[in-house]
C-alpha cells in the first residue's frame, strides 16, 4: 500500500473514532472500503471483482478460488483474505473463515469488517467472551457504530447473569 493511501486511511480512521452521526460513519467506512479494495494492479483488481461477483451470485467455490488466487499473488493484500473469509462464512465454513479473519487482522488490525464478522461467528458458536473482546476492539475504532453499544451491553449482561 502506498504511503499516500496509508495516510488517507489513517485520517479516515481518526475521523471514524469521533464520528457520531450514522451517515457520517457510513461515509467514512465507505471511504475506507474504497481504499481497501484497490490493489494498484488491474489484473488483481479484475480478479477481486470476479470473486465478489461470484460471491454475490452464491458461487462460493468460485469466489474462494478467486480470492485464494489473490492471496497467493499478493499475500499482504488484507482485503483478499477478508473476502475469502466472507465466502467461507457464507458457505458455513466458520473455522476457515476465522483463519482468514486472523490473516486479515494481522495485515490490517483496524479492519472493522473482519472484526464484525469474527464477533458474529464467535456468538454463533457460543464464544460470548471472545465476541465481547472482539466487539471491544471494534468499539475502540468506532465507538458510535450503529448498534454496537447495544451488542456490547447485551453480551456483558449475558456474561454477568449467573443463571
Rounded distance between C-alpha atoms, residue 73 and residue 150, angstroms? 40
Give the tens place of pLDDT for each residue, 127-141: 999 999 999 999 999
Asked if 85 and 100 count as a contact pair (C-beta separation under 8 A), the reply is yes
Give the tens place of pLDDT for each residue, 15-36: 999 998 999 999 999 999 999 9
Q: Please give the domain boundaries of the chain with CATH numbers for all domains.
A: 40-108 (1.25.40.10)
pLDDT number for residue 3: 85
Give the tens place of pLDDT for each residue, 31-71: 999 999 998 899 999 999 999 999 999 999 999 999 999 99
- Secondary structure of residue 71 in the 3-state scheme: helix
Indicate whether 145 pLDDT > 90: no
Q: E strand or H helix at 159, and its extent?
A: helix 148-160
Q: What is the pTM of this model?
A: 0.91
Q: How far from chain centre, in Å, is Cα 89?
A: 12
pLDDT number for residue 163: 64
Amino acid at each position: 500500500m502506498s504511503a499516500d493511501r496509508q495516510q488517507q486511511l489513517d485520517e479516515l480512521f481518526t475521523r471514524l473514532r469521533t464520528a457520531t452521526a450514522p451517515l457520517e460513519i457510513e461515509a467514512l467506512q465507505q471511504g475506507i472500503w474504497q481504499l481497501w479494495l484497490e490493489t494498484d494492479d488491474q489484473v488483481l483488481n479484475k480478479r477481486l471483482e470476479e470473486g465478489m461477483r461470484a460471491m454475490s451470485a452464491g458461487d462460493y467455490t468460485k469466489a474462494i478460488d478467486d480470492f485464494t488466487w489473490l492471496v497467493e499473488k499478493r499475500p499482504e493484500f488484507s482485503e483478499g483474505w477478508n473476502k475469502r473469509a466472507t465466502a467461507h462464512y457464507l458457505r458455513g465454513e466458520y473455522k476457515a473463515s476465522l483463519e482468514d479473519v486472523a490473516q486479515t487482522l494481522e495485515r490490517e488490525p483496524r479492519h472493522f469488517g473482519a472484526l464484525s464478522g469474527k464477533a458474529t461467528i464467535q456468538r454463533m458458536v457460543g464464544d460470548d467472551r471472545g465476541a465481547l473482546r472482539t466487539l471491544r476492539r471494534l468499539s475502540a475504532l468506532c465507538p458510535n457504530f450503529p448498534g454496537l453499544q447495544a451488542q456490547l451491553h447485551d453480551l456483558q449482561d449475558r456474561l454477568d447473569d449467573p443463571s
